[in-house]
C-alpha cells in the first residue's frame, strides 16, 4: 500500500529542519538519517528563517521551549508556509503548563500545519482548548481502548477539520486521520515507552515522509507511523535475543528504522482503514 511513499523518501532525501527540544534532539537527527532523510537544526529566529528556506519540511516540537525559541517557531513556521513546505507540530506537554498550552494555540493560529502528532492527552488538550496532561506522557485514563476508539476517531476527524492538519494520535493503538479518512495502526511495542523521545523521532519522520510525498500527507503520515511501529517490533526481537534493556533497545530501534523497507512493511503492518 505504501511502497511508493517509502521509496520516495529514500530517493529524494528530504532535508528536514527541526526546531526541537534538546532532550531527544540527537535521536531525532539520527532517526531522520535512518529513514532516508537529512536533518538540520536551527532555533534562533534569524538563523532559522534562512535555514528553513533551504529545506523541504519543518518540524516544530515545543519541548524545552523558551521565549527565544517560541519566536523562532512562529516566524519560521510562517516562512515554511509561504514556501509550501509541510510543517509538522509536536505539542509536547500541551496542557501541562500555561506556556506550552498557549504556545500551541498561538502556533495553531499563526501557522498552518500539515500534521499534528501527539499522545492522546496532548491532542485532547488541543481539542478542548485546555488540558490535564500529566507531564509529557499520556494520562492512563485517556488511553485509547476498544470502547472509546470510535469516539477518538470522531475527535481526530473533527480536529482535522478545524485545523486543516492530519491528526496523528500515538499510543498503544495509533490513529492517523484527516477529516474523512482514518488509518488505525496496531504496530509497535510497549518497550517503545521505555525510551525517551520515540514520539519526537516519529514526528520528524512524518515530516520527512510528507516532504517526499506532497500530494498525500495522510497516507505519508500513516506510513511513517507503521514504519516506526514495525521498527519497534523488530527492535524488540533483537533486544530479547541479546537479553537487552531499554538503552540497547533504543539503538536497535534506530537501526531498524534504517532497514525497514516496503517489503518488510508489507509483511508486518497491521493497519485498518475507515
Interface residues toward its own copies, by CB under 8 A: 15, 21-27, 29-30, 33-34, 38-44, 46-47, 50-51, 54-55, 63-68, 93, 96-100, 134-137, 194-197, 244-248, 250-259
**C-alpha cell recorded at residue 261:** 523497507
- Smallest CA-to-CA distance from 224 within 198, 202, 195, 248 is with 202
Task: Provide the strand spans (E) within 113-255.
Answer: 115-118, 166-169, 174-177, 182-185
Cα–Cα distance measured from residue 12 to residue 100, given in angstroms and rounded to the nearest whole number: 34
> 255 is written with which cell numbers?
537501526
Residue with grid cell 488509518, as numbered in its chain: 183
* Residue with Cβ nearer its own copies (106 or 274): 106
The residue among 82 and 150 lying less far from its own copies, judged by its C-beta, is 82
Provide the minimum distance between the beta carbon of 234 and its own copies in the complex, in angstroms, as a whole number: 10
Q: How far is the CB of 67 from its own copies (least distance, A)?
A: 7
CB of 87 to its own copies, least distance (A): 17
| CB nearer to its own copies: pick between 212 and 271 | 212
Nearer to its own copies, 35 or 271 (CB): 35
Comparison of 81 and 251: residue with beta carbon closer to its own copies: 251
Shortest Å distance, C-beta 31 to its own copies: 8
Between 50 and 272, name the residue whose CB sits nearer to its own copies: 50
Give the integer Cα–Cα distance in Å for 121 and 183. Answer: 19
Q: Least Å distance between CB 217 and its own copies?
A: 22
68: region left, alpha or beta (phi > 0 left; psi from -120 to 50 alpha) = alpha
Nearest approach, Cβ of 48 to its own copies (angstroms)? Answer: 8
- For cell 524488540, the residue is 236
State the helix-helix crossing angle for 198-212 and 3-12, rounded to 10 degrees.
Answer: 90
Amino acid at each position: 500500500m505504501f511502497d511508493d511513499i517509502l521509496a520516495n523518501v529514500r530517493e529524494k532525501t528530504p532535508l528536514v529542519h527541526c526546531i526541537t527540544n534538546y532532550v531527544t534532539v540527537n535521536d531525532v537527527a539520527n532517526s531522520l538519517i535512518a529513514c532516508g532523510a537529512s536533518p538540520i537544526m536551527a532555533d534562533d529566529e534569524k538563523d532559522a528563517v534562512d535555514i528553513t528556506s533551504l529545506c523541504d519540511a519543518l518540524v516544530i516540537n515545543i519541548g524545552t521551549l523558551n521565549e527565544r525559541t517560541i519566536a523562532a517557531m512562529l516566524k519560521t513556521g510562517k516562512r515554511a508556509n509561504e514556501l509550501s513546505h509541510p510543517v509538522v507540530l509536536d505539542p509536547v506537554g500541551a496542557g501541562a503548563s500555561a506556556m506550552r498550552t498557549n504556545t500551541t494555540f498561538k502556533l495553531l493560529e499563526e501557522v498552518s500545519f500539515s500534521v499534528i502528532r501527539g499522545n492522546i492527552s496532548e491532542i485532547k488538550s488541543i481539542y478542548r482548548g485546555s488540558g490535564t496532561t500529566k507531564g509529557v506522557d499520556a494520562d492512563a485514563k485517556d488511553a485509547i481502548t476498544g470502547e472509546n476508539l470510535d469516539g477518538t476517531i470522531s475527535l481526530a476527524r473533527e480536529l482535522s477539520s478545524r485545523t486543516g492538519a492530519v491528526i496523528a494520535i500515538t499510543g498503544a493503538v495509533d490513529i492517523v486521520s484527516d477529516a474523512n479518512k482514518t488509518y488505525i495502526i496496531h504496530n509497535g511495542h510497549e518497550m517503545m515507552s521505555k525510551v525517551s523521545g520515540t514520539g519526537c523521532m516519529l514526528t520528524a519522520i512524518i515530516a520527512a515522509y510528507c516532504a517526499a510525498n506532497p500530494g498525500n500527507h495522510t497516507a505519508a503520515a500513516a506510513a511513517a507511523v507503521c514504519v516506526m511501529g514495525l521498527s519497534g517490533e523488530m527492535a524488540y526481537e533483537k533486544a530479547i535475543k541479546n537479553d537487552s534493556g531499554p538503552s540497547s533497545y533504543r539503538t536497535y530501534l534506530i537501526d531498524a528504522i534504517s532497514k525497514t523497507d516496503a517489503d518488510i512493511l508489507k509483511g508486518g503492518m497491521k493497519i485498518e482503514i475507515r
